[in-house]
Structure 1
Amino acid sequence: MWLVVGLGNPGPTYAGHRHNVGFGVVEELAARTGARFTVTKGIRAEAAEVRLGAPGAADVPRLVLGKSRTYMNETGGPVSGLLRYHRLTPDRLVVVHDELDIDPGQLRVKFGGGDNGHNGLRSIRASLGTGDFYRVRVGVGRPAGRQDPADFLLSNFAARDREGLAVELVRAADAVESLVTAGLERTQSTFNS
């Protein structure tokens, strides 16, 4: 079993923001199997369980898809709660998040590393006491001019970028599936751009 957490801020106000691409990826994974997110009792998170592969096939990976019901900078508590609830260790965790330092339309999959100024990753690392978990980093690029990066992340994608975003969410979901079925090296060679 794997825990795949998409980072974002809860509620309709934030739904189309760049900071919420992680939510979009786990929602895409849930939609592929018709799974629905439900509140996990005692944990400030929503979760959905899915199985990859053909129904009835032997040895198909089980995924718990998670979305925190807290704001980004408090994500660590719900993530560590979901890991404990499902008796998983951080090396079975995949965090999907936005990345300013990667251009739109680009992905990077990796294991471990710092938080690179990302408040969600910082919170998770603090709660788990480690950064040793998988990351699927979805490029959103840096703002043009002097716009504050925080304001940029907490703004909606432009209408002209939404079609490309839908393609990237599907691609990032494919990368998650590849990571848990084919492993890191193969996934990096296929998806890292």
Structure 2
Amino acid sequence: MKYQAPQNIKLIIGLGNPLPQYDFTYHNAGFLFVNHIAKIPNLKSQIPNKFQIQNSKNFQFLKINGISLIKPLTFMNESGRAISAAIKYFKIKPEEILIVHDDSDIEIGKYKISFGRGSAGHNGVESIIKSLKTKDFWRLRIGIRPNIRINQSKISINQRLKASAFVLKKISKKDLKILEKVFEEAAQKI
């Protein structure tokens, strides 16, 4: 299948958990991506480097070059409520949003852009699909699965770590550098 870049994106929504204890965890890769976009030089922000809190709408946003960057204030597994509120607030269609989230099935250092796919077990995405009553939206799936090797060979599928073993752990310095490179590359494609 040929790669297709997201079209007509009006909202870039980074998923994560809003409390400080979740800062810089693998599960908050979506928040980190949105923060990365907000810091790119030469982007003209209507609110310099600050997210404007919309408490009644369950999300924060920052407008840059006609695109709103969104961070839900709900927990990851309840993201649908915030995304639904953001879509109503900005009066846009689901196909005009890009959801950015961690993906524990993709190895760290890799990412995938997709449209109209199921949740693949990601509870935050499942919440969005249920709230919007559609899966017709763009997704940027940031790989967070550790690249673990035993005796110089990759671990088999049956030996893989469960996502719960690492998604809420703090990101190592090494992995943060890897994610920053992914963010740079992915930002160019959207």
Place the TM-score, normalised by the shorter chain, in its bin.
0.7 to 0.9
Please state if 1:14 is matched with 2:22: yes
In the alignment, what sits opposite 2:154?
none
CA distance in 1 between counterparts of 2:115 and 2:28 reads 21
CA distance in 2 between counterparts of 1:42 and 1:72 reads 18
Q: Which runs of 5+ in 2 are unaligned?
A: 1-8, 149-158
Q: Which runs of 5+ in 1 are unaligned?
A: 52-61, 177-193
CA contact (8 A) 1:143 1:149 kept: no
Query: Structure 2-normalised TM-score?
Result: 0.81
Q: In 2 relative to 1, CA 71–160 (structure 1 residues): closer, same or farther, beyond 3 Å?
A: same
Identity of aligned residues (%): 33
CA distance in 1 between counterparts of 2:160 and 2:179 reads 24
Of 90, 97, 100 in structure 1, the residue corresponding to residue 101 of structure 2 is 97
Written as runs of structure 1 = structure 2, the 5 A alignment for 1:1-193 is 2-32=10-40, 33=43, 34-51=48-65, 62-141=66-145, 147-176=161-190
Moved more, 2-11 or 165-174: 165-174
Deviation of 1:50 (Å): 0.6
Whichever residue aligns with residue 183 of structure 2, its letter is L
Structure (1 or 2) with the greater strand fraction: 2
CA distance in 1 between counterparts of 2:109 and 2:32 reads 15
Could you report, residue by residue, the CA deviation over 1:134-183 in whole angstroms, capped at 9, with x for unpaired residues? 0011111258656431231111122322221222222232233xxxxxxx
Could you report, residue by residue, the CA deviation over 1:13-57 in whole angstroms, capped at 9, with x for unpaired residues? 111111111101111111223442111152111001110xxxxxx
Alpha-carbon RMSD across the aligned residues, in angstroms, is: 1.7
CA contact (8 A) 2:108 2:146 kept: no
